[in-house]
A and B are shown apart, each in its own frame.
Chain A
Amino acid sequence: MQHYSDEEILALFRDESSRNMALHHLIQKYQQKLYWHIRKIVISHDDTDDVLQNTFIKIWKGLAGFKEESQLFTWLYRIATNESLTFLKQKARANTTSIHPIEYQLSKSLESDTFFSGDEIQLKLQKAILTLPEKQRIVFNMRYYEEMPYEQMSEVLETSVGALKASYHIAAKKIEDFLVTN
């Protein structure tokens, strides 16, 4: 499907009469990318759906203030990442009954998730990823699955390229060790 360019979407947004169309095209263009980005962070489909909707609502409310200094794509990713992390924090705070960290709970929920079709090794890989600290997990997913260049990741996560490279290699090393030992 041919999508509108970011410039076209922003032009549609600026015109009051075509604003609704801009929302439609914005969602159509970015829903899948953002969904998979969020899903890798929050794991559950229902939670992802919730965060995705919140992300689009936030994007929509903030689009008028988007200064076009960065690419629309990186701005959207930044919002999605922040929304996902906020969601996880809220979830961790709400779950006072468990003594385990949120990553452990996510890892456990993955085993019974009907929306997870991976085999044993894929499950193990996801569990290995979930042992990583938040930031490393995001960096690893963005690099390994989304194959995002470090320069773009740097814009999204507002971190230097060098730090991201180091973060990715540390994460990959940890995952490798986890897979070997388990």
Chain B
Amino acid sequence: MENNDYNLNDEPNLPLNHNDKNSFGLPSDYFSSFEAKLREKMELQDELEQYPVLSSIQKNNVFEVPVNYFKESENALEIKAELEALPQLQNMKRFVPEELEADYIHYLKSSVNHKIELADELKEYKTLYSLDKVNSFIVSEAYFETVTERVKERLYSVKESKVSILDSVLDFVFGKKMAFAFGLITIISLSVYFYNSPEKPLEMGDCKTLACLERQEILNNNKVISNFDEDQLMDLVDVNTLNEQLNSAQQKTTTDKKINLDSISEDDLLDEL
């Protein structure tokens, strides 16, 4: 191209006069500012070429905005602009609905039915139904803000006190002083026990003879059998057992005597004579 001052209107494929039946429109200053913009861009590219790594990275916008941000901000600006014309309305606190829970719509029907059911129930009781359902109980200021801390405090103090009691008990039980005292007490107790150990009292079924009975009575009742009268003695004695014992003793004596006489030889008898 000979002419350095390039004019887009000289382009053969475009109509010479862009106002002539061209249905495409352009910003009014597009061509006047085009060159400046192009130069600026080339300048930027030249600048970047000095930094090959940087220029190799694709220029993307990695930042994101919340969904519908621009739409909402536009809406907010619109409302703000509207309200500026109405200062009284602007000062009033506006109701901003909270975001609905995901399953709100799903439970809405059952919730409405539940409310109707409750109201129907109460209708039977006219006075009760006519009353406002208000909570007349109140709590101290900022009460709920402190509950968590107080519960935690109590929970941990319970744990700590438990630990400290256990520690002190263990220290006390396994301490040197306690071990020494325990040893001493054990020795003294054992000594006293063995020194004073009473003979085991006999039980009624243990012995069947009169001698045993006397001993038993002395040990168990601290009484002397000689002080008993005849009836008391008879009560204590098992008559059947006594008879059996006496019979067996008599038989034994007779047999022993018999054996003795048989075993003596004739010579011995003569010697004796």
Q: Which residues of A contact B (CB under 8 A)?
A: 23-24, 27-28, 31-32, 35-36, 39-40, 45, 49, 52-53, 56-57, 60, 115-119, 121-123, 125-126, 143-145, 147, 149, 168-169, 172-173, 175-176, 179-180
Contacts and interface: CB of A to CB of B under 8 A. Distances in A.
Q: By DSSP majority rule, is chain A's interface helix, strand, loop, or mixed? A: helix
Contacts of A149: 114
Contacts of A173: 125
B143 to A, nearest CB: 8
Given A27-B147, A52-B147, A116-B138, A145 B133 contact: yes
A51 to B, nearest CB: 12
B228 to A, nearest CB: 56
B154 A53 contact: yes
A126 B134 CA distance: 11
B148 A172 contact: no
- Tier of interface size on chain B: 20 to 34
Contact of A122 (B136, B152, B158): B136
Contacts of B135: 36, 145
Nearest to A39: B137
Contacts of B152: 23-24
B268 interface: no
B118 interface: yes
A152 B12 CA distance: 84
A173 B126 CA distance: 10
Contacts of A31: 144, 147-148
A35 B114 contact: no
